[in-house]
Amino acid sequence: MTKRIILLLMLVLFGWESQAQTTGGSGTSYWDPIQVTFSAGKSTFADVHDTSTGPPWYYTCRYIPRDGDTYKYTQGRAIFYRMETSAAGDVIIHNWNSYRMGFSTIFLLRPAKPDEMEDWSEGDLYFKRVAMFEEMDFMSPDFNPVELGMPEGSSLGLAYLRVRNLPAGTYYIVVAGYKYMNASVPNGQIGTTIIADLSPGIPGEPEVKPEEPNDCPVQYQYDQSGNRIKTIKKQQ
Report yes or no: 163 and 108 within 8 Å, Cβ to Cβ.
yes
Which structural domains are found in the chain, ordered by start? 16-198 (2.60.120.380)
C-alpha 121/C-alpha 112 separation (Å) is: 9
Q: Could you tell me where the beta strands, DSSP code E, fall in the chain?
A: 17-19, 21-23, 34-38, 41-50, 62-63, 72-73, 78-85, 89-94, 104-111, 120-122, 125-133, 160-166, 169-177, 189-198, 218-222, 228-233
Task: Give the pLDDT confidence score for residue 152 in this predicted structure.
Answer: 85
Task: Give the pLDDT confidence of 85-107 residue by residue, as tens digits.
Answer: 999 999 999 999 999 899 999 99
C-alpha 162/C-alpha 79 separation (Å) is: 19
Kindly tell me if the per-residue pLDDT of 52 is higher than 90.
Answer: yes
The pLDDT of 111-139, averaged and rounded, is 97
Kindly tell me if the per-residue pLDDT of 23 is higher than 80.
Answer: no
Edge-to-edge, what's the strand order for the sheet holding 34-38?
Answer: 21-23, 34-38, 78-85, 169-177, 104-111, 125-133, 120-122
Q: What is the CA radius of gyration of the chain?
A: 27
DSSP tag of 32: S
Task: Give the pLDDT confidence score for residue 216 in this predicted structure.
Answer: 60
How distant is the alpha carbon of residue 164 from its chain centre? 9
Task: Give the pLDDT confidence of 180-210 residue by residue, as tens digits.
Answer: 988 899 999 999 999 999 987 555 555 555 5
Task: Give the pLDDT confidence score for residue 206 in this predicted structure.
Answer: 54
Identify which of 173, 208, 211 has the alpha carbon closest to the alpha carbon of residue 93: 173
Task: Give the pLDDT confidence score for residue 127 in this predicted structure.
Answer: 98
What is the residue type of 11?
Answer: L
C-alpha 126/C-alpha 116 separation (Å) is: 9
Task: Give the pLDDT confidence of 171-185 residue by residue, as tens digits.
Answer: 999 999 999 988 899
C-alpha 14/C-alpha 10 separation (Å) is: 6
